[in-house]
Amino acid sequence: MPSPAVKPQRQAPKAPTERTLSFVDAVREAAELEMARDPNVLVFGLDVDDPKAIQGTTRGLVEKFGPERCFGTPLSEDAMTGAAIGMALAGLRPVHVHIRMDFLLLAMNQLLNVAAKSRYMYGGRVNVPLVVRAMIGKSWGQGAQHSQGLHGMFMHVPGIKVVAPATPYDAKGCLAAAIRDDNPVLYVEHRLLHFTKGPVPEAAYTVEPGKARITRRGADVTLVGISSMQVECLRAAAYLEAIGIDAEVIDPIWLSPLDMDTICESVERTGRLIVVDTAWTNCGAAAEITAQVAERLQGIRDLRLKRMGFAPTTCPTAPNLEDLFYPNARTVAAAARDLVEERACGWLPAERADLKSIEFKGPF
């Protein structure tokens, strides 16, 4: 039987204004358009004005808008986050870039006790329109303190929004929406997504909070893929299609606020759910989504539920250990088959070279 190609939902010819951009270029373009639209928008952080320009996501901004609106900062996360909050309270719209999410831990008091709560504590008389770009990743050997996905910690706290775009289209639209939002927003970027490509309209647009997207229609099992795990879920769906299992794939996009209606409607149809996160499963995004599905659908639908994410240990550095630590398309597909057939099948699909890279296809 020939191997089917990955078919994200709703493929269509590109509109005349659509171009194919990388995730990196989509982030850069969103920042550039927002800085041009609103003089109060500024971008700063460690190495944003470095020649490497944060993987290229800040390239050209200092030349176009000047060092007053795009500048590098000392390695001082707590102090610079405090400065960012002060700027936001004073009416600016700062975008604070953190090369790694791990170091947000140094600024948690600023983010969760000040940024997230000021609007409430001052009776709505102040806004904190702050965007924190925070990157997570793997596979470049930096292990325990440079690879963590901590977005679940921020989902726990009211007052701060969390978004984890997985496509170039959403990277641009979500960053624009985050910059225009009057509340603090944690914008999560996975480095493995940075060089994925997909259609991105040239004009400015927003992808507003609280709406998930079905990226592949299916009837047998629902796969929710967070951040880079969206790619793995689409690949898993292709493995499953080859054995006759029809998976529906959902990209939640915004993790807080979370669009549970779209996820629950899917699970009510399929009866089976796997949430795959690029983080630990304990008390994380996968746990929250699974719990809400169970609360809403218990007594309505017979359910089979599963979470997948990091293994319950610190992030390793060795590639052979990383293979065991992170979910991948093959392990997601194997778990989905077990869920659908309600038995341990002992099946692991052979790796397919045609699924190693995915270009996202719209329209969105």
Name which of 340, 138, 311, 363 is nearest 236 in CA terms: 340
- Catalytic hit among 77, 189, 241, 288: 77
Strand pairing partners for 131?
Answer: 95, 185
Handedness of CA 68, 70, 74, 77 (dihedral sign): positive
Is 190 annotated as catalytic?
A: no
- What's the CA gap between 54 and 102, in Å, rounded? 16
Whole-number Å distance between alpha carbons of 246 and 239:
10
Q: The tokens 């794939």 sit on which residue?
A: 249
Structure-block tokens of residue 264: 């629950």
**Catalytic site residue from 96, 98, 146, 194:** 146
**Which residue type is seen at 336?**
A
Q: Is 68 a catalytic residue?
A: no
Give catalytic residue positions: 77, 146
